[in-house]
Amino acid sequence: MSVRAPRYSAWSLLRGRFSGPGFWRPLWSGRQLQKAYDVVVVGAGGHGLATAYHLARDHGVRRVAVLEKRLVGYGNVGRNTTIVRSNYLLPQNHYFYEDALRRWETLSRDLNYNVMYSPRGVLDLALSDGEMVSLARRGNAMRLAGIDAELMDRAGVMKFAKELVPAGTRRFDIVGGLLQQRGGTVRHDAVAWGYARAASALGVDIIEDCEVTGLVTTAGVATGVETSQGPVAAGQVVFAVAGHTGAIGTMLGVPLPVETHLLQAMVTEPIKPLINSVLIYVHPHGEVYILQSDRGGVVMGGFLDGFPSYTREGRWSRLEDVVQSAVALLPQIAGLRVLRHWAGTNDMTMDGSFIIDRIRYDNVFLNGGWCYGGFKSIPASGAACAQFVATGTAPDLIRAHTLSRFASGHLLDERGGGPFPVRL
Ligand SMILES: Cc1cc2nc3c(=O)[nH]c(=O)nc-3n(C[C@H](O)[C@H](O)[C@H](O)COP(=O)(O)OP(=O)(O)OC[C@H]3O[C@@H](n4cnc5c(N)ncnc54)[C@H](O)[C@@H]3O)c2cc1C
């Protein structure tokens, strides 16, 4: 089902130009908080909004609220580097991320909102024969699962990524790479706005400036949440707060195997089209993943800052590492000025895989531990989490992503999937 957009004629647009901001209709309703809901979703990031949308669209749950302590899109959904891909090693992860990638392909149509999916290709570069073996293993695992992956030698990489000038100036040269052509980018703000608008059109209440401060329980069952706007009764509660997942563990008295870490990114002044895909370059002294935005800015990021923190101010030295790696890869961008840099918080699990599971109570769910993969996963996460909440049974795609795996030792160690400590 698609959501109908308001229709604008040339005349109405012209009239709106002169009649002030009241002309534009808000994308989602500013409805008042009600006293009770079937499902309360905490956090209006990508996962919370997508879960609410699928609860309403796929399962007919009508009384759904998304409670957001700040603004829609204020969190990491609007702070990431927009990369989507499904090139994971483990089946438990690559099938799930492939489900997400297939949904990205049609999301603009489904939401009737242009999220600007751009399958420009994600290319992991290898600098040694050992890394080529590791990439070949991952590519083979993907292909066996029906996911596109292309192992390239050096000549193939240079042909595909013409911006990579021949060796000579580069300190650590490239011997090959693994391409996922259907990987690429999606406009992150549009994802938040598109899901918010579509959920709202289906009757979901999206309440901003409403912080959830506690869970209300009666006789071992959750009955609602305490919020900065007063108590709200709820049949079921879903926490989808990403970087704040650890704080939810504290709220519920459940220590979680999650640490919040800072990740920075930056964008340069715009230039003519230069970088045609997403390039990931990890060398012995650092890492950069780099792409060009539709406006022409060169977007890049690298490793986490390396210490747990909820702050959004990172270390300057991390930015220097990223820039040095970027210039080592693409010497032609050396003179560009950085226009803007920012940071966000990532909820890191120790095995690099996410959690969607019940937490402490039968009717309370945790959607978190997204590490670096929390943007690209949004469409699959929303659909799977909504199915779990609505039916009480975890769909196959997320059955392994339990909280208990950290106690039982059945980890989904995605970090073993390649030479790279960071995978965005
Ligand atoms: C610099 C950077 C680059 C990244 N690049 C990529 C990338 O290229 N690809 C990729 O897949 N991932 C990437 N990520 C990771 C990705 O952005 C996150 O994993 C993902 O956005 C998290 O999910 P979300 O969108 O639901 O989170 P958020 O947008 O952070 O949503 C959580 C919301 O919960 C709200 N909240 C928290 N506590 C409460 C409370 N008590 N009550 C009410 N509301 C609450 C917050 O205000 C927030 O709005 C990157 C992250 C960063 C920081």
pLDDT digits (tens, 9 = 90+) for 25-56: 788 877 899 999 999 999 999 999 999 999 99
Measured CA to CA, the distance from residue 153 to residue 135 in angstroms comes to 11
Determine whether the shortest distance from the Cβ of 266 to ligand 1 is under 6 A. Answer: no
- Among 301, 321, 349, residue at a domain's last position: 349
Q: String of b and e for 274-284 (b: at least 16 CB within 10 Å)?
A: ebebbbbbbbe
Q: What is the pLDDT of residues 116-153, one digit of tens each?
A: 999 999 999 999 999 999 999 999 999 999 999 999 99
* Cβ(122)–Cβ(278) below 8 Å: yes
Instruction: Tell me: do 223 and 242 sit in the same domain.
Output: yes
H/E run at residue 314: none
Determine whether the shortest distance from the Cβ of 241 to ligand 1 is under 6 A. Answer: yes
Written in H, E and C, the secondary structure of 238-305 is EECCHHHHHHHHHHHCCCCCEEEEEEEEEEECCCCCCCCCEEEEEECCEEEEEEECCCCCEEEEEEEE
Residue 26 has a pLDDT of: 82
Atom of ligand 1 lying closest to residue 376 CA: 11
- Is 90 within a domain? no
- Domain extent for 142: 118-183+260-349
Is the pLDDT at 170 greater than 70? The verdict is: yes
- Among 320, 349, 378, residue at a domain's last position: 349
Instruction: Tell me: do 198 and 316 sit in the same domain.
Output: no
Instruction: Tell me: do 46 and 178 sit in the same domain.
Output: no
Q: How far is CA 304 from the centre of its chain?
A: 16
Measured CA to CA, the distance from residue 323 to residue 311 in angstroms comes to 22
Measured CA to CA, the distance from residue 280 to residue 289 in angstroms comes to 4
Output DSSP code: residue 353.
-
Rounded CA Rg of the chain: 22
Measured CA to CA, the distance from residue 49 to residue 65 in angstroms comes to 10
The one-letter amino acid code at 285 reads H
Determine whether the shortest distance from the Cβ of 196 to ligand 1 is under 6 A. Answer: no
Average pLDDT of the residues of the chain: 92
Instruction: Tell me: do 392 and 371 sit in the same domain.
Output: yes
Instruction: Tell me: do 149 and 264 sit in the same domain.
Output: yes
Residue 423 has a pLDDT of: 44
Overall pTM > 0.75: yes
Across residues 254-278, what is the average pLDDT?
Answer: 96
* Cβ(256)–Cβ(245) below 8 Å: yes
Measured CA to CA, the distance from residue 93 to residue 95 in angstroms comes to 6
Report the CATH number at residue 290: 3.30.9.10
Residues linked to residue 217 through DSSP beta bridges, in sequence order: 222
Residue 291's pLDDT band, with cuts at 50, 70 and 90, is: very high
Residues linked to residue 345 through DSSP beta bridges, in sequence order: 262
Residue 422's pLDDT band, with cuts at 50, 70 and 90, is: very low
Q: What is the pLDDT of residues 67-121, one digit of tens each?
A: 999 999 999 999 999 999 999 999 999 999 999 999 999 999 999 999 999 999 9
- Is 1 within a domain? no
- Is 305 within a domain? yes
Instruction: Tell me: do 391 and 293 sit in the same domain.
Output: no
Instruction: Tell me: do 205 and 329 sit in the same domain.
Output: no
- Contact partners, residue 344, CB within 8 Å, separation at least 6: 75, 76, 79, 80, 243, 262, 263, 312
Measured CA to CA, the distance from residue 404 to residue 394 in angstroms comes to 14
- Is 113 within a domain? no
Determine whether the shortest distance from the Cβ of 262 to ligand 1 is under 6 A. Answer: no
Measured CA to CA, the distance from residue 59 to residue 43 in angstroms comes to 20
Measured CA to CA, the distance from residue 317 to residue 304 in angstroms comes to 12
Q: How many domains does the chain have?
A: 2
Residue 165's pLDDT band, with cuts at 50, 70 and 90, is: confident
Residue 15's pLDDT band, with cuts at 50, 70 and 90, is: low
Report the CATH number at residue 397: 3.50.50.60
Residue 415's pLDDT band, with cuts at 50, 70 and 90, is: low
The CA 70 to ligand 1 mean position distance, Å, reads: 13
- Is 130 within a domain? yes
Instruction: Tell me: do 232 and 308 sit in the same domain.
Output: no
Give, for ligand 1, the residue of 53, 241, 245 to mutate: max count of ligand atoms closer than 8 Å to Cβ. 241
Q: How far is CA 201 from the centre of its chain?
A: 23
Cβ neighbours, 10 Å, residue 167: 12
Across residues 415-424, what is the average pLDDT?
Answer: 45
Instruction: Tell me: do 339 and 277 sit in the same domain.
Output: yes
- Does 282 or 171 have the greater pLDDT score? 282
- Among 294, 316, 349, residue at a domain's last position: 349
- Is 14 within a domain? no
Determine whether the shortest distance from the Cβ of 232 to ligand 1 is under 6 A. Answer: no
Is the pLDDT at 189 greater than 90? The verdict is: yes
